[in-house]
């Protein structure tokens, strides 16, 4: 049985190359899937890669997000499908090892430092019923 991935990478499929009508998100998804697969089971079994229509980073195409259960989420912009796939795979390896997903810009691959549009802390939501049980 194939294990369920613990992480996901979401690529905007609506971003356009600046000044053109070309939408490179689908191309980026295919390149990223191939590169993650080539990275081996430790990475490929742990990541699901999908597309979404927009992540509100439209001025910085292409945008790519990393998510994981109980982990900080990241949104990166200015991703070039022809140049940045290696940086995305390197970050996938790194992200998988971070317990809370949190890392500073200096710890990320060079390309992803200035390309970070958001780093959102993990949401650990205590439901009122859970709080009651704990006290
Ligand atoms: S069109 Fe890609 S983030 Fe909005």
> What pLDDT does residue 1 have?
56
Q: Which residues, at least 6 apart from 123, have a Cβ–Cβ distance to it below 8 Å?
A: none
> What pLDDT does residue 5 have?
79
* Mean pLDDT for the chain overall: 89
**pTM of the predicted protein model:** 0.88
> What pLDDT does residue 129 have?
60
Model confidence at 45, in pLDDT bands (50, 70, 90)?
Answer: confident
Residue whose CA lies nearest to ligand 1 atom number 2: 15
Model confidence at 128, in pLDDT bands (50, 70, 90)?
Answer: low
> What separation in Å is there between the alpha carbon of 51 and the centre of ligand 1?
11
Kindly state the tokens that stand for 4: 């369920």
Per-residue pLDDT, averaged over 30-59, amounts to: 92
> What pLDDT does residue 87 have?
97
Q: What atom of ligand 1 comes closest to residue 62's alpha carbon?
A: 2
In the chain, % of residues over pLDDT 70: 90
> What separation in Å is there between the alpha carbon of 133 and the centre of ligand 1?
42
Mutate to test the pocket of ligand 1, among 60, 61, 76 (most ligand atoms within 8 A of CB): 61
In order, the DSSP letters of 48-74 are EEEEES--S-TTSSS-EEEEETTS-EE
Q: Which residue has the higher pLDDT, 38 or 1?
A: 38
> What separation in Å is there between the alpha carbon of 27 and the centre of ligand 1?
15
For the structural domain made of 7-134, what CATH number should be given? Answer: 3.40.30.10
Q: Is the pLDDT of residue 35 over 60?
A: yes
**What's the rounded Cα separation, in Å, for the pair 10 and 88?**
11
**What's the rounded Cα separation, in Å, for the pair 92 and 119?**
15
Mutate to test the pocket of ligand 1, among 10, 15, 81 (most ligand atoms within 8 A of CB): 15
């Amino acid at each position: 049985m194939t294990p369920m991935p613990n992480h996901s990478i979401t690529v905007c499929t609506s971003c356009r190359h600046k000044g053109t009508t070309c939408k490179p998100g689908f191309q980026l998804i295919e390149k990223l899937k191939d590169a993650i697969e080539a990275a081996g089971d430790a990475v490929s079994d742990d990541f699901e890669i999908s597309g979404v229509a927009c992540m509100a980073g439209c001025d910085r195409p292409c945008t790519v997000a990393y998510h994981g259960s109980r982990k900080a989420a990241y949104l990166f912009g200015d991703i070039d499908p022809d140049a940045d796939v290696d940086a995305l795979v390197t970050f996938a390896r790194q992200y998988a090892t971070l317990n809370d997903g949190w890392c500073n810009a200096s710890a990320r691959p060079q390309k992803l430092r200035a390309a970070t549009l958001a780093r959102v802390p993990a949401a650990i939501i205590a439901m009122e019923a859970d709080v009651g049980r704990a006290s």
